Amino acid sequence: MRIFSILTAIVVAAVIYLFVFQRDLLFSFGTDESQHPQMATAQPAPAAAAAPQDSTPIVSVAVLTSTAQNVDSAVTVRGATRATRQVDLRAETNGRVISQPLRKGATVRANQPMCEIDPGTRRVSLAEAEARLAESRARVPEAEARVIEAQARLNEALINDRAAEKLSKGGFASEARVASATAATQTARAGVAAAQSGLQSTLAGIQSAEAAVALAQKEISRLVIHASFDGILESDTAELGSLLQPGGLCATVLQLDPIKLVGFVPEMAIQRVKLGAAAEARLVDGRKIQGAVSFISRSADKVTRTFQVEVNVPNADLSVSAGQTADITISAQGTLAHLLPGSALTLNDNGTLGLRILGAENTVRFVPVTLIRDTMQGVWVAGLPRETDVIVVGQEFVTDGVIVDPTYTEVAQ
């Protein structure tokens, strides 16, 4: 039994070998070419099979005839709203708040009092400084009189000195008299200098008193903190009885009319943005607001290489708040473009975005295009001839140079 199993395995292995590796030889033993002449004449069949390739069916495509239009090549960026102005009103002196607080959200006007601080002894200090100023000014006439008196004494001494000198030359006065007259003149000059010095000291005292008065008045003016401009309170003002130190926060005021839109434009598009250009923004809730470009940065961000652009938008009803996200569209110089279905766009073998159009004799041609804008009606593209036949269906199944069977269609634009 074991020998029989071994022989069976050998036979099966041999048959498998013939079927797998020697199939042609095996078939030649079982077939007689003389009995089947048609098989010998069937050899040229591959050449005949090549004939139908010339009669391959032409691909049918849908073609849209498009004419270029002059469209606004707007620049679209994502941005946000900001307050035109924002200021933190802070105390410049210390003291307790004695005014009732204003609540956040309230509308305030320029120079409206926001916080008032207890004056304490500041008014007493002002009165003292004013009294010193009055006292210093009262000393001025006395000091001026002393100067006049000293000048008169000097003039008298000069006259006596000249008379004694003349009498001495004529032998009518002694040298002692001349010396005495000269000494009196020197004394008079010293008196004049002292009187003038006293007058200057009095005038300096007046300036010091005036400075003290001005300092006291300035300190009193710091007791009331006013709003810098018309706006909205972003926070409550300082509570009644709270202690404010220099630099302490009284309130935060925002100016929201007009409101500012801030976006960042790529460096490839910044040359298309001009000051004063019209702009429109779409807020996240669907509202649209319009304004004009008021600022274009001349320095790119070091990280993103984008330029900051600001748009001023009227906001009289204060319906737009600061910090809202907005899609900003800035108008730019118009350009010729075609409005086509977005599905018509395709890529060539190099990954270039473009369209396949119909050329002479219904030949397909690929044309690179520039995407200007994507809308609900389709995409605006530039780079095509003014009038062209664009393949909108079937463009993925043809390549350059292929002849197609076009069917013209119309797409709602």
How do the residues of the chain divide into helix, strand and coil, expressed in percent and rounded to 5? 35, 30, 30
Q: What is the CATH number of the domain that holds 182?
A: 1.10.287
Answer with the one of 311, 333, 355 that is the final residue of a domain.
Answer: 333
Which segments of 60-174 does DSSP mark as H helices, in order?
122-170
List per-residue pLDDT tens for the chain, 413 residues long: 566 677 777 777 776 766 666 666 555 555 544 444 444 444 444 443 444 444 556 888 999 999 988 876 678 899 999 999 999 999 999 999 999 999 998 999 999 999 999 998 999 999 999 999 998 888 888 888 888 988 888 888 888 878 877 777 777 667 777 788 788 888 888 888 888 888 898 899 899 999 999 999 999 999 999 999 999 999 899 999 999 999 999 999 999 988 999 999 988 888 888 899 889 999 998 899 999 999 999 999 889 899 999 999 999 888 898 999 999 998 877 778 899 998 999 998 888 999 999 988 899 999 999 887 778 888 888 889 999 999 999 888 888 888 999 999 875 44
Q: What is the CATH number of the domain that holds 365?
A: 2.40.420.20
Q: Which amino acid is at 202?
A: T
Domain extent, residue 162, equals 130-200
Q: Is residue 84 part of a domain?
A: no
* pLDDT value of residue 411: 58
In DSSP notation, 26-59 reads HHHHT--TTT-HHHHHTTTHHHHHTGGGGGPPPE
Are 341 and 327 contained in the same domain? no
Are 313 and 353 contained in the same domain? no
Q: Is residue 125 part of a domain?
A: no
Return the structure tokens found at 278. 């019209």
Alpha-carbon distance of 185 to 160, in angstroms, equals 8
Are 311 and 344 contained in the same domain? no
* pLDDT value of residue 21: 61
Alpha-carbon distance of 35 to 146, in angstroms, equals 160
The count of structural domains within the chain is 3
* pLDDT value of residue 7: 73
What is the 8-class DSSP label of residue 403? Answer: B
* pLDDT value of residue 25: 59
pTM of the predicted protein model? 0.55
Are 382 and 328 contained in the same domain? no
* pLDDT value of residue 182: 83
Rg (CA), the chain: 52
Q: Is residue 118 part of a domain?
A: no
Are 346 and 321 contained in the same domain? no
